[in-house]
A and B are shown apart, each in its own frame.
Chain A
Amino acid sequence: MDGKYFHHALKFRKEVCIGCSHCMNVCPTQAIRIREGKAELMDNYCVDCGKCYRACPVGAIIVEQDDFSQIFRYQQRVALIPSVLMGQFPEEVSLTQISSVLMELGFTHIYEVEHGVEVLRDQIVSYMENHKDNKPLMSAFCPAIVRLIQVRFPTLTENLVHLKPPLEIAASFYKQMLIDQGNEEDEIGIFYITPCAAKIAAVKSPVGQDDSPITGVINMDFIFNKVYTTVKKGFIGKNTCQIPDMAPLKSTGVTWSATNGEAANIPGRTLAIDEISNVIEFLEQLENEEKQDIDFLELRACDESCAGGILTSSNRFYTVERMRNRAAFAKSEEQKGNYRYTSPGSVVQYTDFLRDNARVGSIQPRSMDKLDEDIAQAMKKMKKVHEIMDVLPYVDCGLCGSPKCSSLAEDIVQGQAQMNQCIFVQKRMEQQGTLKSDDSMQIMKQIWGAEKFQDNNNQNV
């Protein structure tokens, strides 16, 4: 198979994995197999959506995280926080309180990611004007979706809006502002508090860019626990550290990462679709049809978008409710003229800089469906896949260690699996006398591990 393309933030811990296959069964891109009683990730198929992380009953899948102490390598330590972080907490916890905990942890600056979305929205609108032939244009906001399109819907890569997500825009702006204030570039560390694994992967190996202005990533659950512990201990309001003056986030920014946050702010006919299986179903259909009159698609991998990210702690429906309440409040303040955005250090002053830096390079298709680079070879393999499919039962039971009969057929053709891994094939062979009972037991042990077939085994039950 091809070389490694992706950095993955999801890591499978073999020593913890019990080979239960829950992850394999929920993976929307069929990227997981079971071998010798352990889940294995096929790197090139994984889009970091995190469904497996949620399905794992024993915590064998973890989200890698940069060591927190690395922030102290920098003199200017910026925490980039998404609006979803604020939405994690009950309304009585204020942004000032959250900020004060972040400052005590060691950050010197705190900035909300979505301050730049107005600049981004204008960029999207002019991008749409210039790319009318690629309708419907699709948001590149969610990195799991960008990867999904590259892998599963390669014909749609040119429909992606080739603009940086708000996170990258906020990071570029803040870094530039600190440089303009006289800081050296290598003294600045920009750290993003992430609600999901896909954004970590996107920072570590950005698509369509050489590198990211973001120095490191900190998982949101870690920060949530720190803040909530402090809140529970009642320390709130007694902090001694100085909280920086923060411009309030506009209503558009507050809900930008929620479902319909983008779509509602883009002119024309727009649709917002969340949850990766819904997105796959929709794109599958879209690929068949000739150009449509949809102008813009907002596509998000998680249910309820970023509020449903795998590193969030609060129930996603409460989170969305809080974000909407906050947006409504912001809107009324904006209308009263209470919010001002013209102070030095406002993103508005960097509009030109951000406009010049908003584009990403080309986003390449990387179809993972191809059976072979060479069409003649691929044709042979495809024939074989169909021959094998005629024998397999179409049950998708997963007992062979592949998630579907069709994935087993492809695995066999690629030399990664054997026909007799199928339990139905085994039974037939046993009856015909071509496979001994001992041998079929051996095959099952190779897939599921010997432990699962021991007598009186109460482990993991």
Chain B
Amino acid sequence: MKLINKRRRFLRDALALTGAVALGGCDKLSQTDWAPKVLGSATALSHAAQSALSRNAMAREYSEADISPVFRPNGSTDPQSSEYRVLAANGFADYRLGVGGLVAHPLALSLAELRALPNRTQITRHDCVEGWSVIGQWTGVQLSRVLDLAQPTKTARYVVFRCFDAMDDGSEYYESLGFDDAYHPQTLLAWELNGRTLPIPNGAPLRLRVPRQLGYKMAKYLRRIDLVASFKDIEGGAGGYWEDQGYQWYAGI
């Protein structure tokens, strides 16, 4: 009997200990350099699997009845830099979207020039990494058309978006896409939300739409677009402002 009691006590203690180590251990592991890297490796698997399964499939487009009454803005909602304030005060008449880096033809496009390109309007869902969703109607030019004008060189692999809005740490927001998403037909540079000029809280004068990824990929307040071979040397090196804070570069999940 004594042996059985001891064994039972051991099993019980082992179980309690395992639980405590598991929960406390997760916090400790999160603080190490290596564990987040191991955990992050699953994202590469998710990216590969989801790309193989969905390829160029289109994001669901909704009807006007589905549009959210308010398209909830998140992150920056009113950039304060003097450069941006001056542009906004003039209704963005002097705004130019720079397109450069590894391209044959660097561009500086005004809103009028962008609007003169073939437009696309789509009612798509916007999923925030926090978990909520809103639906809005977007009008803009397909990013692929702008890239076709600029003609990326053979070494270009990523499209980097630089923005006007300064974040808490003083750096400016930025994001990046691979070519599969950059050339997807629903990837837009949008200037209109729900049939009206894009409001400042939602990213005026121009923002990115990538409906098959989460909201933080869809950079607002676009300043310029750079084509690069690698984003390792840009800012924190992870390919975006939130990515530098530990969020996944692939945000399709």
Answer whether A and B are interacting partners. Answer: no
